[in-house]
Structure 1
Amino acid sequence: MGNQTMLKEFFLSGLSDLPALQFPLFLFFLLIYLLTLICNLLIIVLIVTDYHLHVPMYFFLGNLAGLDLCCSSVTVPRMLFDLHTKRRNITITACMTQVFFFLYFAAAEVSLLAVMSYDRYKAICQPLHYTQIMSWAVCLQLVSTVWCLSFIYSLVHTLCALKLTFCESGIIKSFFCDLPQLFQISCTDAYLNILLILSLGAILGVGSLTMTFLSYISIFKTVLKIQVPGNRSKVFSTCTSHLTVVFMYYGSVFFNYFQPGVSHHFPGDKAVPVFYTLIFPLLNPLVYSLRNRDFKKALKGV
């Protein structure tokens, strides 16, 4: 037990051990990260400066862009640093800090996607009452609830993770610190931690996914009643692209956190987190915002 408590740092295994891949991976992920920063910052600036975009839908999209910025910035700069310097050691304090903020922003994003689907449901299915239902006070309450509950969710998991002791090797089989990988190298029984992430994660994930799914079911039913074929196909196309991104995001998260056992490894384990830490923060602005007619109009006015 004494050797376990003396552990001061972990070692991140990264995405690949092949020296020839380090620089290409660095350039590729640097490009993706810069594009993510530019796209999401552009969305935030447009929403803040263009008064035509001061409506609930774009208020939520602005929050989503901010979350995408934060979520990718928690993990990607560290990964780029490791690829460039080939130094993969990380202190336990830095690791737990990364765990907290990643869980915080990821939980907030999952919840916000559900809120956004509810907003679209009200806008399309109850247009006459939309402005009364989705007032600014309601929007602020929804976003505040998302941020507050996500903070509590992340804090509970992080505090429980801090009680674990870790084996002497301390090798985390990922490019960043995350709970499933920490459970794998824990020398103490992580059963309660696993039970906690399964129960709270299921409530958060399944609850958000159910709200999103039911909202879009109602939207599709309403869209089928639209008489003009062009308008109907446009709404279908938009909703389908939104749902595709949502289910891909949920799929990658569920794959990472709800595997049959924390000691079980799949060939693509290391690649899966890349999707929800790097790819989706870039996909979200492209799918939700930059294809939007109002955003294109705002861009032309810049």
Structure 2
Amino acid sequence: MQQNETTDGCAVTGRPAVQGFFDPRTSSIQYIVTDPATKRCAIVDPVLDFDEKSGATCTASADALLAHVTAQGFTVDWILDTHPHADHFSAAHYLKGRTGAPTAIGAHVVDVQRLWKDIYNWPSLATDGSQWDRLFAGDDRFGIGSLEARVMFSPGHTMASVTYVVGDAAFIHDTLFMPDGGTARTDFPGGSACSLWASIQDILALPDDTRLFTGHDYQPGGREPSWESTVAEQKRSNIHVAGSDEAAFVAMREARDRTLPMPKLILHALQVNICGGRLPEPEDNGRRYLKFPLDALKGACW
């Protein structure tokens, strides 16, 4: 797992330290965002490892986050997911068990739960968000040590997506990728290119020097993984946004999405992630099972 740390100027009030952990299996980035004054931190979008070929799960990625927390003498205040992920399992539930820190996600996760409850034919699924300790609405505030964090509702990629703004850092999940990677897809159930455009405009209205931390990097051209940009850089050179308007963006995004196959783990991951990262309960033989609906995602590209 590749790591990178942003440390310049961390002593400045309102400027958190940010450590990124790149997961090459899913091209995801997990983050530890820390208040340098108090050494209190939040973990953002942690990954629970899963191999779809063997059905094996493990906690190596999440344990690497815990090892960093321990080595640095940090205390975990929050375990945050930006949205219910379609390409990896969330390690939020596991990390809560290890740290005692509360878990949180955007309040509109209940809409995603209701949608997928029907897709999975899952009558016993609680669709009130009770699988998390806190559901954040847009503009909610919370603390990480002495830092104030706020929540931006950022739908488009999913109905529940949120951005966490902590000081001069914003964790923008699957909205904008790095400028050479463009933007996130919007063809999942409940997605919307129009909503994504509006969410991107909200993010780009932040101060130009705001540090933006993306949720994935697919390494265009085979370059090394990268995950930090600024508002100014995105406005200047994002290949899907710079020089575009809403109509052109929506047309581009919808046309592009029609060519993209679904993530290989979408049907695996959503049933775990709409439960806050909880794996299915063991059955009477002691084994856990995932359940896949066939032909549920009509029109998906093969």
Structure with more helix by fraction? 1
Larger relative contact order (C-alpha < 8 A, sep ≥ 6)? Answer: 1
TM-score by length of 2: 0.25
TM-score by length of 1: 0.25
Structure with more strand by fraction? 2
Higher radius of gyration, 1 or 2: 1
